A and B are shown apart, each in its own frame.
Chain A
Amino acid sequence: MTPSPRPMLLASLGLAAGVLLVGLRDRTPPYAAFGSTEPVILVPSLSGKPEYCLTCHAGIEEISPAHPTEVFGCVSCHGGQPLALDAETAHAGLRGGRNPSDFAVVDANCGGNDCHSGPADEGLDHIHRSRVSLQATYAGAIAQVRYAFGAQSDLRALFGVSAISDPELGSPTALPSLDSLLPIADSEPEQVRTLAARCLTCHLGAPPIDRPGYQRQTGCAACHSVSNWQGTYAGGDPTIARDEPGHAAAHRLTTAIPYTQCDACHNRGNYSLVDMAFHERTDLSPDGTAPRLEAFYQPIAQFTACEVDLDCVDCHASGEVMGDGDLHSRMDEVRAVECRTCHGTPSEGPATRTLADPDDPALRQASLNPSSSLQRGDTVVITSRGDTLWNVRRLTDGTFELTAKLSGRAYPIPQVAGSPCEQDPEDQSASACHECHAVERP
């Protein structure tokens, strides 16, 4: 019996439709939504293994000149499945999600091959220094509150936000270890328990307060990856939502950190010991458009011209900000920059050293900043602790000049010696200098 032709035709049309669908799917893969119709292959020279990440993440910014995409690729820092072409599979096994520098995962992502976990004398112990720094342990604030409310007899820190030890004591005030404040003991005074409940958002391991103006990442990226006021991404990666807070403004790391990044933690308000609550500044515009002078300092603060014109990192070098590699109780144990560091005293100029060794870490640090022209043989200023301010140079005529790390602008540095300034070299408190040199707030 001859089969009926209509079912045969329908079956063949069904088969044709199936083949067509497969073909169309091949031509319009999921990643086509991000602009690519073919997988984009990258073989970073460091691993020599192919990665398809840029198929979707086309247009993403190179993270930094020190981490070129063609050398590092994506996987060496982020992990994940480099050969997958769908988001779910590709992102399985990411180390740290969007932020590989979070302290929970930073060793695997940034510390490999001693990149940032190398010897201290070569200046390569970035992870260790950051992790034991006061910005990470929050030990100073905890000790202050415990001391204020009778939980300890002096200001020597006993607790951090997590337990940490560092048996190598490199300075007289170094601590061998800190216990974890959390989980908070019932025996702690109520105010300390309140501190633990409300106030532990300002250390490098904690996510920030989820509001505009407080936006930053955690770990290294908290400082080195700049966020905007809203915490939204404004770069070229088509996969990242532009209206979702919690992102850095671009996929970039920088050592030229603007003051706005520091402000996200250090200049939004104050914790009050009276009610153990955070009191937000009320003088800032809600959209983050306050003029630099007003945004920079709270109304009660005094400041000098250089403190406003420059960015924080122009004076507060990594030895202060990232710490000296020891656990400490208070910021003044690592603070090294004073007015006389750059301006000298009535009797002598700033302390300096000449960069004779071509392998001097200061030269390497300077080479990461495109505005620097520092060279072997140059003489630069050092702090009272011996940290090098590579952007403050003594010129051949004996004068001093600071190069701003963000703008590259050169600032001649007036010296106290030979000027009418009546500085007491032993009183380097801000109030002493502000007495004569404070800038009026408009």
Chain B
Amino acid sequence: MSAMPSNDLEGLPVRRRDFLALATRAVLWLTGGAAAVGLGRYLTYQLPAEPATRFTLEAPEAYPPGTRVLVADAGAAIYRDQSGYFARSLTCGHLGCRVHPSDDGGFACPCHGSQFSRDGARVNGPTARDLNGVALSLDDQGHLVIDMASKVDPTWRLMMDATAGGRSQDAAADKG
């Protein structure tokens, strides 16, 4: 007795033609979705953020007279003397290397040996310049803010209003 060949598709709920059409649509949707994701990534590409130039520091009371505090993130040193608060960039003016504190209490450049005093004045080259002065200000919460993009004269000081208990509402700059 010979058996008749059976049609495997018989009895299935979907015809072959419909299945292929469905698969085509599915592939196209998936492809379109993937392309859309790629396009979206392209259109929403975020440029690398510019390096920050403003840094919020502690409140002024954290810097008693005579202190020198290094702020690594900003690449600066914060000072307070009898006249007020001031800051120096830790970038050597010769080629732009970061200076480090030296054993004598000043700063030394690891690249070519320039040396600076404690407050950033040039001691020896090859740099021809002192460490740059940079501006300080107070934010709304009363914290010191250093702006590395704002250079100031070395004699510049942020002075506090003595009548406000050492806390200034109006930070003043002395050019003298």
Contacts and interface: CB of A to CB of B under 8 A. Distances in A.
Contacts of A413: none
B113 interface: yes
Interface stretch (B26-34, B77-85, B147-155): B26-34
Contacts of A15: 27-28, 31
B120 to A, nearest CB: 16
B26 to A, nearest CB: 9
B112 A46 contact: no
A46 B125 contact: no
B113 A20 contact: no
B23 A9 contact: yes
A66 B112 CA distance: 6
B111 interface: yes
B115 A46 contact: no
Given A22-B38, A359-B125, A363-B124, A12 B112 contact: no
B62 interface: no
A23 B38 contact: yes
B175 interface: no
Contacts of A9: 20, 23-24, 27
Nearest to B18: A5
B126 interface: yes
Contacts of A410: none
Contacts of A26: 38
Contact of B21 (A8, A45, A46, A68): A8
Contacts of A22: 38
Interface centre among B27, B28, B30, by most A CB within 10 Å? Answer: B27
Interface in B105-121: 108, 110-113, 115
B69 interface: no
Nearest to B109: A367
Interface in A1-51: 5-6, 8-9, 12-13, 15-16, 19-20, 22-23, 26, 41, 45-46
B59 interface: no
B96 interface: yes
A281 interface: no
Contacts of B27: 9, 12-13, 15-16
Contacts, number: 72
A316 to B, nearest CB: 22
A9 B18 CA distance: 11
Given A19-B34, A359-B124, A65 B20 contact: no
A68 B97 contact: yes
A422 to B, nearest CB: 42
Interface centre among A9, A22, A45, by most B CB within 10 Å? Answer: A9
Interface in B7-43: 17, 20-21, 23-24, 27-28, 30-31, 34-35, 38
B165 interface: no
A385 interface: no
Contact of B20 (A5, A363, A364, A368): A5
A317 B28 CA distance: 74
B34 A367 contact: no
Given A45-B96, A71-B111, A376 B124 contact: yes
Nearest to B35: A19
A12 B24 contact: yes
A251 to B, nearest CB: 17
A8 B124 contact: no
Interface string A165-209: 000000000000000000000000000000000000000000000
Contact of B30 (A16, A45, A368): A16
A311 B126 CA distance: 28
A20 B125 contact: no
B28 A363 contact: no
A16 B32 CA distance: 8
Contacts of B125: 359, 364
B115 A358 contact: yes
B145 interface: no
Contacts of B20: 5-6, 8-9
B149 to A, nearest CB: 13
Given A5-B24, A71-B97, A19 B31 contact: yes
B173 interface: no
A363 B113 contact: yes
B95 interface: yes
Contact of A364 (B91, B123, B126): B126
B28 A367 contact: no
A15 B126 CA distance: 62
A40 to B, nearest CB: 11
B48 interface: yes
A150 B31 CA distance: 84
Contacts of B91: 45
A16 B30 CA distance: 8
B34 A20 contact: yes
Nearest to A372: B113
13 contacts: A5-B21, A5-B24, A13-B27, A16-B28, A16-B30, A19-B31, A19-B35, A26-B38, A41-B48, A45-B91, A71-B96, A71-B111, A364-B125
Counting from the closest, the 4 A-B pairs by CB-CB distance are: A367-B113, A358-B124, A5-B20, A45-B96
